[in-house]
Amino acid sequence: MTRWEYCILTRMSAGLDTKWFVNRVFQHHDTSLPSEMTERQFKAYNDKFEELHASRVFPLLPAILNLLGADGWELIDDMNTGMAGGEGWLFKRPLAERPRRSAPKKKQASGRRR
């Protein structure tokens, strides 16, 4: 059975020079600003997107879609994030199964005694 990995690409404004992020996650605290808790693989994508944004060659979306597509992500849906100008696109790709480690076999003692 195929297992899937999901990714949400979020647009943070409506301008041509908008910033895009994938699976950005924040832990909110009662007494301080939220801290980012994005998984390492998605943080790497976001760092690449920041580099693209810093190049000031807009629009970024075609380059971002090419990066995601090259890594096997497939667009499956769009969504309204509820933020003004915010938009989200949902992607999926097959989750690579990790080989299961079998427990080391225990040597059985023979029932014979000499």
- What is the phi/psi pair of residue 59, to 5°? -80, 155
> Residue 103 — very low, low, confident or very high, per pLDDT cuts 50/70/90?
low
- Global model pTM greater than 0.75: no
Beta bridge partners of 10: 21, 88
The answer to whether 45 and 73 are in contact (CB under 8 A) is: no
Across 87-108, average pLDDT: 69
Instruction: From the options 3.20.14, 3.40.50, 3.40.1280, 3.30.1410, give the CATH code of 4-94.
Output: 3.30.1410
| Cα-based torsion angle of the residue sequence 45, 66, 13, 75 in order, rounded to the nearest 10 degrees | -90
